Amino acid sequence: MSDSSSTATLVAILRAEIARLVPGDRLPSSRDLTGRHGVSPVTVSRAFALLAAEGAVVTRPGSGTYVAPRRTRAGIDVPDTSWQAVALAGRNLDLGDADGPSGGLPDGVIAMAGGYLHESLQPTRALGAALARAARRPNAWDRAPTAGLAPLRAIFARLAGSTVSPEDVLVTGGGQGALSMVFRAIAAPGSPILVESPTYPGALAAARAAGLRPVPVPMDDDGTRPDLLADAFAMTGARLLYCQPTFHNPTGTVLAPARRREVVDVARAAGAFLVEDDFARHLGHGGPVPRALVADDRDGTVIHLTSLTKPASPSLRIGAVIARGPVMRRLQGMRLVEDFFIARPLQEAAIELVSTPAWDRHLRALSTALRERCTALAEALAREVPDWTISRLPAGGLHLWVQLPPGAADSATADAARAYGVALNSGSRFFPSEPPSTWLRLGFAAAAGPAELAEGARRLKVAAGADR
């Protein structure tokens, strides 16, 4: 019998014996077990080590091995995983929550947190029909190309601008995964990454998970300040900038036309990549949407990220990276290492969805609904909490960026709001370093409608009073 099978057999025997004992009971000694089961002392040592790692036993040098205390949760034995604190030491990711709660909210809580559409705003019927048609396509369940299906790559290229070709597109599993992949592909652990301040918390989480150091670049009403951006590149030697030029999360800012070319030029002069997160291109409120930075980029400075998730459904995890040159080959190589390809049925469903008139109708209806909700929430806040200052009424996106009055703490306000049945995001998590003042991000797309947003504002008035 091999050593591994002997160890597994002994572990099974000891588990059965442990089940009959109570915490604190002593197990047979190594000598007893070697004689009783005809195994070597090494096999006994390995078996005890495995059981200790599971939390089933505790070994006391010079005394023996004992049944460990049983931790229970709802009547179910829970192993002791405290040993993992030692095994994981040295890498504290501190990821937090990328963009709001991952699960559903309790009944009665009004959703002003997170970054997804309420079910009533999602094209549910069109999605179902698209998925049904996709499943009937020839070869729908075959392996997809690493870069993505050609028709879907062509769609993303056309959305980005006439200068982008399908060969510049890599289909991804949504925007967040693409963000993480791009950061890890470009910058080595320990490197600086320049980010707007404030910025999307999911980008900060992805950067820190990749071992990068986020360095803030201040913004004003026209977006990223090119002068301070150039200073940040010079001081840090960074080779990577992450920004959201269109309907910035959380502020709603649109990078001014005069600055759009200048920001790209500053990055190019520094020999750096500019990662353009274009998550909100389909979330405009009815006005013109600026041309993507990548559309005017000729030398591969801009890496463009986009996704169908935000304007459609949280579960339509389909996005794209647009890049040119060696960096695209590197990204394709990472795709092969990580997951080979994006599930073909989902890609086929995305093609079906965006190729029908129903998609255009959905985007027009969504634009109107977002504008109405944005206005409704802004008016309700002005009425109920007039000392809260809305930074701007955004022309796109899903959120209002609200400054609290002096002396108010964002975390305490968020906790008080939750106690009164409103979930929102405290502003400090959007800053890569100390925030200059106190902010909240309030979403208007995840609630059921304008009436619920008005009720949320009334609850916030009570919560704000209780917090004082």
Q: Is the pLDDT of residue 430 over 50?
A: yes
pLDDT of residue 92: 65
d(CA 12, CA 7): 9
Whether residue 30 is contained in a domain is answered as yes
Same domain, 411 and 265: no
Same domain, 261 and 323: yes
The beta-strand segments (E) located in 234-359 are 240-243, 273-277, 302-307, 319-322
d(CA 26, CA 28): 7
Mean pLDDT of 122-130: 94
Whether residue 15 is contained in a domain is answered as yes
Whether residue 98 is contained in a domain is answered as no
Same domain, 345 and 366: no
Mean pLDDT of 360-386: 97
Q: What is the CATH number of the domain that holds 76?
A: 1.10.10.10
Same domain, 49 and 136: no
Same domain, 294 and 379: no
Q: What is the CATH number of the domain that holds 428?
A: 3.90.1150.10
Same domain, 348 and 388: no
Q: Is the pLDDT of residue 1 over 50?
A: no
> Amino acid letter at 174?
G
Mean per-residue pLDDT of the chain: 89
State the alpha helices, DSSP H only, in 141-218: 150-160, 175-186, 201-209
Tell which residue, 208, 200, 148, has the closest CA to residue 339.
148
Residue at a domain's end among 355, 375, 407: 355
Whether residue 104 is contained in a domain is answered as no
Residue at a domain's end among 312, 332, 355: 355
**Number of structural domains in the chain:** 3
d(CA 101, CA 197): 22
Whether residue 101 is contained in a domain is answered as no
Q: What is the CATH number of the domain that holds 328?
A: 3.40.640.10
Same domain, 76 and 114: no
Whether residue 411 is contained in a domain is answered as yes
Same domain, 167 and 277: yes
Mean pLDDT of 48-64: 84
200 exposed, middle or buried (CB, 10 Å; 0-12, 13-18, 19+)? buried
